[in-house]
Amino acid sequence: GAVVSQHPSRVICKSGTSVKIECRSLDFQATTMFWYRQFPKQSLMLMATSNEGSKATYEQGVEKDKFLINHASLTLSTLTVTSAHPEDSSFYICSASPPNSPLHFGNGTRLTVT
């Protein structure tokens, strides 16, 4: 089945620094990838849709200048959390799917900002 790989699985950073999270589709090409954020004991909230070769589409309330998304190839999307603050601490999960197939998730990245 489709495999989505996400790295790193855990990251701890200091307030004010930036963190990059990678999402790769290992056995299929993904023109679109999705980035979700999940706070403890809460649901998955779509942050943005990453589009290969064009600008990402951000959901309402998500700051595009803070959460930079780059989708430079058909198998890689990156999410950079810039000037991270403690309130950005969360579980970030990417997802993608081959055409007409169910959505598959990466392993997620647990971000802790100290």
Partner 1 sequence: GENVEQHPSTLSVQEGDSAVIKCTYSDSASNYFPWYKQELGKRPQLIIDIRSNVGEKKDQRIAVTLNKTAKHFSLHITETQPEDSAVYFCAASISGSARQLTFGSGTQLTVLP
Q: Does 100 bind partner 1 (CB under 8 A)?
A: yes
Stretch that binds partner 1, among 19-27, 61-69, 72-80, 98-106 (CB under 8 A): 98-106
- 42 counts as binding partner 1 under rule CB under 8 A: yes
For partner 1, which is the closer residue by CB, 32 or 70?
Answer: 32
| Residues of this chain, 46-75, that bind partner 1 according to CB under 8 A | 46, 49
**How big is the chain by its Cα radius of gyration, in Å?**
13
Count of residues interacting with partner 1 (CB under 8 A)? 23
